Structure 1
Amino acid sequence: MTIRRRLTGAALVLAAVALAGCSPAIGGAGQPVPPGDSVQWVSGNAEGNGAEPGTGDLAAAAGSSDRESTKWVQLSVREAGSLAPVVANGAGLTLYRFDKDGSSPSKSSCTGTCAETWPPVLVAPGGRIFLDGLDRSTVGLVQRPDGMLQVTIGGWPVYRYSKDKRDGDTNGQGSGGTWFGIGPDGKKAQDAKKQPGVAIVYDGKSLYGQAQGVYGPGCRDLPRPGTGASIRVLGVPIRIWSGRGCTGDSAGIEGNATDLSEIKFAGRVASIRFADPATQAGRGDSVIVYDDKNFDGDMQGTSGPGCQDLPRPGAGSSMRVKGGEVEVWSGADCTGDHTRVDGEASDLSAIGFDDRIASVKFGVSES
């Protein structure tokens, strides 16, 4: 088994075909399956939990026997194409939901030739479901008309698309106006560029390892608080918090933060607040400060409103400002020497502020 380094963090998931004639009747066709002992729920990815190579999702992708392919399923949060966050399977294949199904109660209406084009994600009774960044409360099972157990997310039965062949394919997105990639909460996955912010948090540094994702607006708690070592941010800037409900210590981030230990937040992120997209124009609502000139080296970020101290004061040689003009200060709490920066400053020594910025004031008025 392999772990893909793309924006998936860990990437082994689910995509199973049927275990023909072997599934007992549990609650009746089309009925949600009580959690009970019908399957084993496991936090983390398949590889890390000792799943047998060549089985489960990987067997399904290779066209192996039904018995092998339904042994386990992994659900991973990732980015695929323009969609983020979206759930993918162990072969890196995007998973989908169907508008003609039901979510409350769960019901699958894709059978026959439909199920050939859109193979349902199945797991055998007693099989394992690996939750790689998803909240257990959002994942369930429903019994299909043929008696097989199909995985659900947010109540929606989950499928693969037969024309998706490679890691990250999203060829089924929008098909027939009824098929859409599924997000970790069961809602339709959205184009990241059109969303009010997306954050994918990875357990390892450099955007690697098991992943979990949330999207704005407002404050969002992570499904697995206190496990992140790096973050990818799409769209608006964010502020990460050490407590749920956006409480406790905080730090601002825009873009990628490949090592949260640099801002003393490794293993500490519990919730994320997304900036309001309506405030991002003309206010200078976020900055990224780079350790080296020309926007190179390690980086740190912060966002407004008001005065914000940098996590690592005195470590910046270049910076980018999103939105409008800000004031940079040599002392904490916006004290000491200061000057204004608008847009990009590729060499802070040109304005006498190389390795001197300690705090930033947002929302400054024009003069």
Structure 2
Amino acid sequence: MKKVIRAVRYGAVALASLAALTACSFQAAAPALPVPQVGALGQVVGSSPPPIANSMGQVQVFGGPTTGTLALPTNHSAAPSIQLQAVNNPQIGTYVTDSAGMTLYRSAADSTNPPQSTCNGNCAATFPPLVVGSSAKIYTAGVNASSVGYVQRSDGTYQVTINGSPMYYYWQDQQPGQINGQGVANNWSTVSPTGGNAASGQSSRGQSSGRQSAGGQSSGGAGSAPVEGRPNELTVYEGANFGGEFTDLEGSFSDFSTVDLNDKITSITNNTGKDVCFWTDANFQASEVKVPAGVTVAQLSQPFDDKISSEKQC
């Protein structure tokens, strides 16, 4: 039988913004093209074949959108063709997606001069790189084609860059338009059409008015819950974007109803140094989602949002 070690409940969390990350470039950015008017993250389709604006080996970059429909790999493997397109979001402004509307990100830890990715191993599982085949075609819509290139990763694949910044996806973005990777670890940001940060890489920091044990007895004092998580803790939140009441967990929980968390968890930070798995049913049954070490989840996707009932390391 798994023993429940500890669960500590905290009060409501308020959101606040941190300072903006500084965008870097390996060359002067070319003037941005006008952002096309597109609807609901749909693929931009051109009316005439676009000109070739840039070539690197057999990879061709086109100065305009494709005239056909692009089918992208579902597992983030090398794409034979990709389109980088600019879309608008009232929260963060103009940012870059692929042709399916999936958000792209950049890392402040990467080098842009020369372009180099520092995200490998577990990091690349959390933020999969946007890679293309050795003879890929890269189309652009609202992104200056002359700023588009690639960098060869340590595994030999070709990762797309904008103005020197390697491009990534985020594993918790399951639908077009989601921006769950924005501000993760104060390092990751959505991408502007010129390759910089589309927004400030916001993270949230909360203050609680009190602290309670799982048994409901107040222990007094004040707690805080930065979006990157409490040190060495697995922290779960009842609201999206690390809002609402939050609880630090230690050990495995075969049934969250014992700590009044059943079907209440919406966002998670994992600073335990270990991968943790959650299940929608008690006793580690039904649907499973893994939260790797060092990962923050701003909004669980379905069927996990407000449906989690058990948890343990995996």
**What is the TM-score when the length of structure 1 is the normalising length?**
0.40
- By percentage of residues, which structure has more helix? 1
Which structure is larger by alpha-carbon Rg, 1 or 2?
Answer: 1
